[in-house]
């Protein structure tokens, strides 16, 4: 948990360094996520940091909040963002700082195997933290793309890839499809040149290539045609088409550049 908290803090610091230099007009800039500004990206992170902390420390309160959302048609990130559009950039950044600090502090002492509820399947506290790293990286990517920043890839990409691989079954569920029985081998080249791998070595279906490209694919931040991934086999091809590392409704993905 300490290592995960430290990696989340580092990913947060990288994003914050860019956010801190934005003008008020830049906070309102449209990002590649249709209908979302930079401010929306940050309010999404801050809001779900608060919710994540509740899910782990006050599951009854989380259950009540989720029940209300379900009664209103389910969690809708667009509706959540709309609630906070009156906040200034400075107020948004202060909220993000506070919510992120409280969440990290709250998770540091938790048993990593503690089961916590969520909008998708329940998960361990360790997986919940991994999901926050993935979300921060993904929404941070939208911010970086908007302001023209190209961040240096880090070993934290492993968290994004790991939760993306683990969410394969959920991706099919979100799209109303049955997952094929065929396993998929994922072999990724890390920023330091080492190889990260998931799935059986003997699997015929495979996805190989740079870890950055897989992270962009599985968070739906780039279209597969714009990435240097080698995708072999029908099961791998279908997963690459619908894969998503995040909970909630099926993502729409991005159009080719």
Q: Is the pLDDT of residue 74 over 90?
A: no
Q: 181: which residues sit within 8 A by CB, 6+ positions away?
A: none
- pLDDT over 70, % of the chain: 100
Has residue 254 been placed in a domain? no
Has residue 97 been placed in a domain? yes
Contact 221, 110 (CB under 8 A): no
Domain that includes residue 192, residue range: 158-242
With tokens 């506290």, the residue in question is 125
The SS3 of residue 254 is coil
Q: 219: which residues sit within 8 A by CB, 6+ positions away?
A: 134, 137, 138, 141, 160, 164, 244, 245, 246
Does residue 162 share a domain with residue 88?
Answer: no
188: left (phi over 0), alpha (psi -120 to 50) or beta: beta
pTM for the full model? 0.95
Helix 211-218 and helix 157-166: axis angle, to 10°?
Answer: 50
Does residue 111 share a domain with residue 31?
Answer: yes
Q: Domain ends where: 151, 174, 195? A: 151
For position 145, what pLDDT does the model report?
Answer: 98
131-186 pLDDT tens trace? 999 999 999 999 999 999 999 999 999 999 999 999 999 999 999 999 999 999 99
CB-hemisphere CA count at 13 Å for 6?
4
Q: Domain ends where: 118, 151, 184? A: 151
19-69 pLDDT tens trace? 999 999 999 999 999 999 999 999 999 999 999 999 999 999 999 999 998
Rounded (10°) CA dihedral 45, 129, 228, 173: -90
CATH number at residue 54: 1.20.120.450
Q: Which residue has the higher pLDDT, 243 or 121?
A: 243
Measure the CA–CA gap between 117 and 62, rounded to whole angstroms.
8
Does residue 115 share a domain with residue 55?
Answer: yes
């Amino acid at each position: 948990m300490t290592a995960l908290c430290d990696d989340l803090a580092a990913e947060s610091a990288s994003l914050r360094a860019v956010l801190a230099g934005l003008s008020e007009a830049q906070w309102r800039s449209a990002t590649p996520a249709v209908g979302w500004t930079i401010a929306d990206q940050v309010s999404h992170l801050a809001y779900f940091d608060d919710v994540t902390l509740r899910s782990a420390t006050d599951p009854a309160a989380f259950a009540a909040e989720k029940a209300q959302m379900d009664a209103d048609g389910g969690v809708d990130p667009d509706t959540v963002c709309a609630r906070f559009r009156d906040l200034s950039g400075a107020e948004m950044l202060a909220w993000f700082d506070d919510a992120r600090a409280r969440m990290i502090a709250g998770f540091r002492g938790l048993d990593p195997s503690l089961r916590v509820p969520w909008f998708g399947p329940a998960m361990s506290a360790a997986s919940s933290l991994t999901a926050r790293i993935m979300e921060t990286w993904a929404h941070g990517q939208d911010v970086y793309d908007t302001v023209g920043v190209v961040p240096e890839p880090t070993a934290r990409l492993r968290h994004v890839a790991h939760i993306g691989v683990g969410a394969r079954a959920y991706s099919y569920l979100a799209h109303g499809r049955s997952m094929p029985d065929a396993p998929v081998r994922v072999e990724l080249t890390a920023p330091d040149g080492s190889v990260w791998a998931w799935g059986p070595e003997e699997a015929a279906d495979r996805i190989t290539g740079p870890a950055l490209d897989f992270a962009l694919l599985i968070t739906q931040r780039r279209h597969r045609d714009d990435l240097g991934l080698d995708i072999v086999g029908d099961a791998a091809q279908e997963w690459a088409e619908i894969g998503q590392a995040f909970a909630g409704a099926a993502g729409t993905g991005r159009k080719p550049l």
